[in-house]
Structure 1
Amino acid sequence: MNLKLVTLLFLFISVNVFAQRSNSGWVDLYNGKDLSGWKLLGGKAIYEAKGDEIIGTTVSNTPNSFLATEKEYGDFILEVELLAHPLMNSGIQFRSLSKSEYQNGRVHGYQMEIDPSARAWSGGVYDEGRRGWLYNLELNPAAKTAYKINDWNKYRIECIGNSIRTWVNGIPVSHLIDDMTTKGFIAMQVHSIPASEPQGRQIRWKNIRIQTENLKPSPSEDIFVVNMVSNDLSALEKRQGYRLLWDGKSTKGWTAANGSAFPAEGWQIQDGILSVQKDIPGEKAKGGDIVTEKEFSAYELKFDFKLTKGANSGLKYFVSNLGGSILGLEYQILDDENHPDAKLGIKGNRTQASLYDILPSQKIPYSLRKVGEWNQGMIRVYPDNKVEHWLNGIRVLQYQRGSADFMQNIALSKFKAVRGFGLAPKGKILLQDHGDEVYFRSIKIKELN
C-alpha cells in the first residue's frame, strides 16, 4: 500500500472517530492542560491541572473551596471519575450559585457527596449552604457499598427537569425531586479542614464530561424517592404504590375527629398548604382535630410539616374511639426549644418525632430543622407491627407494637389506664389541632402487604 493511500486511510479513520465522539453528545469540561473555563470560589484550597487530571489539595484555615465552571447548566448528564484520600470529605456541586446578595457570595446548591468515612453516604445529595441533607444513604442503605475506598470511582448525575438522580460505579444511589434551583454552575469541592487535621490531602478528578442536548434519562431504579415538590407524586412513586392522602386543594377524605363534616373554621387550605390556625386567647377554640375517613393497618406514610415558634401538634395513627375518647399513637410535632412540653414526660418522650409520652426519638443533628423550615416526616408500620419514625431522612425511633418493652412504657405513660391503647389492628390517621399554627403538605401513603 503506497504512502498516499495510507495517509488517506488514516485521515478517514480519524475523521470517523471524531464524528462518533461528536455524535455521542459528550463535551469535555477539562481541556487536559490548564484550568481554562473554571474559577475558584470560597476558600483557598489548591487546584492544579496535571495531565489528564485536576487535583485538589486541602489547606488549613480556609473555608470550603470550589473550582467552578464559568458556564451554568440546567438540564444535563454529568460523568466524572475521582480518587479521594480515604480520610477526606469532598463533593461535586451542580446547579449551584454564588451571588453577592446571598451570604456575601457563599456557594450554595446541590452537592453529590464524596464520603469515604464509615458513614458511607457517598452519592447522596446535600444542599450546600442552604437546607442540608436532602437525600442520605440511610434511605438507600444498599448503595453504601458502591463507593470504593483508595480507588477510582465513577460518578454520574442526571438533572432533567425537577428530577435529580445519582449513581456511583453504576449503582443507583439517590432519586430526588426538587425545583428550588433549575440552573447553576458545576464545581469540584475541597472541604475545609479543622486545625487538628493535617493539610495536603488530595482528591483527583478526570474524564469530566457532560451532555446537555437530546438527553435520555436512565431507566428508573426501584429506590426510595425524596420528593420536595409540594403535593407531587413522581412517576416512580406512583409505580411504587404511593397516593396522596390529602389532595392539596380540598377537604376530600378528611373529617372532624368528632363529627361527620370537616371543621368549618380553624383549618385553612391555601396555596397547597393545609394549616391549623392559632387559637385567639380568650376565645373558644374553632377547629379541632381532623381524621381520615379511611382506616389503615400497615403502610408507609410521608408528610411535610412546618412549625411556628413555640408550636405543638402531632400526627396520630391507629386512631379509634377508646372509652369515649378519640385516641391513637402520636408522632410528636413540637418546637423543642420553645415549648415547655419538651421538658416533660420521661427521658424526652414528648420531644420532636417521639412516640408521644411513650418512647423518645433520637436527637440526630442531620435530622433537625429550624423552626419555620419544612420538615419531612415518615411513619412506617410493617405488617408484623414493627414501627419506625423518620425525620428528614433519618430513622429516629423504632419499636414493636405489643412487645414487652412497648407495654412497659405505656404502663408509665398517661395512657396506662386506657385498655387496648396502641394495639388496634387498624385505625384512622389524625392531624392534631393543639391551638398553635402548624402547616402540612405532601401527605402521601403506600399501603404494605
Structure 2
Amino acid sequence: MNIKKQHGYLRYFSFSLIITLLVSCGEEKKDYLTTIFDGKTLNGWHTLGGEATYGVENGEIIGTTVANTPNTFLATDSLYTDFILELDFKTDSVSNSGVQIRSNTAPWYRDGIVHGYQVEIDPSKRAWSGGIYDEKRRKWLYPLEENPAAQKAYKPNDWNHYRIEAIGDTIKTWINDVPAAHLIDDMTAEGFIALQVHSIGKKGKPGVEIKWRNIEFITENLEQYSMSSPLTPVVTKNQLTYDEKKAGWELLWDGKTTDGWRGAKLETFPEQGWEIKDGILSVLASGGGESTAGGDIVTEKMYANFEMKVDFKITEGANSGIKYYVDTELNKGEGSSIGLEYQILDDERHPDAKLGSHDGSRTVGSLYDLIQADTNKHMNPIGEWNTAHIVSKDNQVEHWLNGVKILEYERGSEDFLKLVSKSKYKDWPNFGLYEQGNLLLQDHGDLVSFKNIKIKSYE
C-alpha cells in the first residue's frame, strides 16, 4: 500500500470511527428512556377538558382542533413526581399547544379544570416554545423574552424535539437541544403528563392537526442523566412572576429582612417570637397565647383598596390569622390588634373551629367570628403550603383559598353591620369600616409560616 492510499485509508477509518462513536453515544444516551406511548394505541391515556379529538396514526398521536370547545388534554392515567421526558412534536404556523407536566384536575378547583405547569408550544412570531406557563393558575413563569437562541431554535411546520427535566423544585427545558427554560418553583410536586389541543375561538380553524411522537421518559436515577443548563434560573419564591409584574403587584416581604414590617404595638420589629430562615417568615410556638410572645406584626404602610396574597403553612392544632383594615391604636392592651381577619386554623384539631358568634365563623378562610367560609373549600394537609388571597375594592371583599373563592361580603352593608352587632367586635367603634389600615400577621402562640407575601394596590 502506497503512502497516499495509506493516508486515505486512515482518514476514512478515523472518520468512520468518529461516526460510529457518535452514533453509539447517541444510542447509549437514549437507552435509559422508556416509552410512555406504545405507538399504536392510546392505552394509558385519557382525555380531559374540551371535545377536540385524539387518535393514533403511523406511530404518532394526532390531536385535531374542534370549534367551540375549551382546551382539550390527552393525559396519562398515572401521576408522576420527578422525571426526564423527551418527545417530538409538530404543528402548523398558528396553532398554539403545549405539554402539561405535574398537572392535575380536582372537583374543588374550578369545576375540575386542568391546571399546572405547561411547556409551551408557540408557533407565533413571539416564539416562546419551551417556555413555562402555569395553566389556569399564575400564567407565565418563564417566558423567553431574554432567550433569543431558544426562540430561533423552533422549526416552523416541522418536527421539533423537547427535553423536559422535572427534578425536585427544578424544571429545565430544551428545544432542539437548545436550553429554553430553567425554573425553580415548589407549588406542585406531582401530577400527570398531558398533550394539549388549544381552544381555537371564533377565528380559529377547525381540523388542524398537532402531532407528537417518540414520547419517552425515565423516573429513576435521574441525577445520573440530568443535564446542566447555562441559563440563569428564575426563582419564584418571594419573587413576582412575569404576569404579576405586568399587573402591578409588589412584594410585601423581601424574603430576607424585616423591612416594611414592625410589631403591632412596637415601633420596630419584635426582637423575639418571629424567625426568618431560608426565605420563610415564621411565628414561633409559645404555648398558644394570643399575642403573648413576639406579638403581631403589621405593615408599616396602610392600604385602602387592595389585593393581598400570602402562602401559609400550619402545624397541628395551629391558630393564626391575616388581618386587614387594622388600627394599631385601637387596642393597646392585652391581645391582638383589632381588624377584619382571614382566619388561619387547623379545623380538625383546634377547638375554635366549633366556636364563634356565627356558626363555623372561626374556621380556616372565614371572616373571623362573622362569616363562615364555604364548607367545600380545599385546605392542603398539615405541613403543606396553602395560598390565602384577600380582595377588597370599594368595600366589596372576597376571601380566596388555594385559587378558589370561599366567601364574599360588603363592608358597611346592613347585613355586615348586623353580623358585627352580634359578634365579639360589637363594642369596638367603627369596626371594619376604616377607609384604610395596616395589614397584620397574627401571633397566636402556634408555629405558622409565611412566604410569597404580595400586594396590589388600587387608587
Conserved 8 A contact 2:395-2:410: yes
Instruction: Give runs of aligned pairs for residues 256-267 of structure 1, distance below 5 A.
Output: 256-267=263-274
Gaps of 5+ in 2: 1-36, 47-53, 64-74, 119-126, 143-167, 174-190, 196-206, 214-233
Task: Please give the per-residue CA displacement for 1:81-112, whole angstroms capped at 9, x wherever unaligned.
Answer: xxxxxxxxxx98633xxxxxxxxxxxxx225x
Measured in 2, the distance between the counterparts of 1:67 and 1:355 equals 36
Measured in 2, the distance between the counterparts of 1:232 and 1:339 equals 32
Superposition deviation, residue 347 in structure 1: 1.6
Q: Which amino acid aligns with 2:141?
A: I
Q: TM-score, normalised by structure 2?
A: 0.58
Superposition deviation, residue 237 in structure 1: 1.2
1:347 to 359, 366, 381: 359
Gaps of 5+ in 1: 1-33, 57-62, 81-90, 96-108, 128-133, 135-156, 167-171, 190-203, 211-226
Q: Is the partner of 2:420 in helix, strand or coil?
A: helix
418 and 249 in structure 1: CA distance in 2 versus 1, 3 angstrom threshold: same
Conserved 8 A contact 1:248-1:274: yes
Measured in 2, the distance between the counterparts of 1:391 and 1:207 equals 36
Q: Which amino acid aligns with 1:247?
A: D
Match of 1:305 in 2: 312
Match of 1:180 in 2: 169
Match of 1:110 in 2: 103
2:451 to 437, 441, 444: 441
- Using the aligned pairs only, state the percent identity: 40
Q: Which amino acid aligns with 2:458?
A: L
280 and 335 in structure 1: CA distance in 2 versus 1, 3 angstrom threshold: closer
Conserved 8 A contact 1:267-1:287: yes
315 and 323 in structure 1: CA distance in 2 versus 1, 3 angstrom threshold: closer
Conserved 8 A contact 2:310-2:389: yes
Q: Which amino acid aligns with 1:341?
A: D
Match of 1:336 in 2: 347
Superposition deviation, residue 79 in structure 1: 6.0
1:72 to 60, 85, 88: 85
Q: Is the partner of 1:72 in helix, strand or coil?
A: strand
Match of 2:408 in 1: 398
Superposition deviation, residue 379 in structure 1: 0.5
385 and 307 in structure 1: CA distance in 2 versus 1, 3 angstrom threshold: same
78 and 359 in structure 1: CA distance in 2 versus 1, 3 angstrom threshold: farther
Superposition deviation, residue 208 in structure 1: 2.1
Q: Is the partner of 1:236 in helix, strand or coil?
A: helix
Q: Is the partner of 1:322 in helix, strand or coil?
A: coil
Match of 1:356 in 2: 368
Measured in 2, the distance between the counterparts of 1:78 and 1:430 equals 51
Q: Does 1:288 align with 2:291?
A: no
Measured in 2, the distance between the counterparts of 1:110 and 1:253 equals 36
Conserved 8 A contact 1:316-1:331: yes
Task: Please give the per-residue CA displacement for 1:154-213, whole angstroms capped at 9, x wherever unaligned.
Answer: xxx97746x3155xxxxx986153983526998458xxxxxxxxxxxxxx9952259xxx
Superposition deviation, residue 240 in structure 1: 1.2
165 and 407 in structure 1: CA distance in 2 versus 1, 3 angstrom threshold: same
173 and 308 in structure 1: CA distance in 2 versus 1, 3 angstrom threshold: closer
Instruction: Give runs of aligned pairs for residues 113-124 of structure 1, distance below 5 A.
Output: 122=113, 124=114
Conserved 8 A contact 1:35-1:49: no
Conserved 8 A contact 2:137-2:403: no
Q: Which amino acid aligns with 1:208?
A: K
Q: Is the partner of 2:352 in helix, strand or coil?
A: helix
Task: Note the aligned Cα RMSD (angstroms).
Answer: 4.5
How many residues matched? 314
71 and 281 in structure 1: CA distance in 2 versus 1, 3 angstrom threshold: closer
Conserved 8 A contact 1:387-1:400: yes
Conserved 8 A contact 1:40-1:66: no
Q: Is the partner of 1:408 in helix, strand or coil?
A: helix
Q: Which amino acid aligns with 1:254?
A: W
Q: TM-score, normalised by structure 1?
A: 0.59
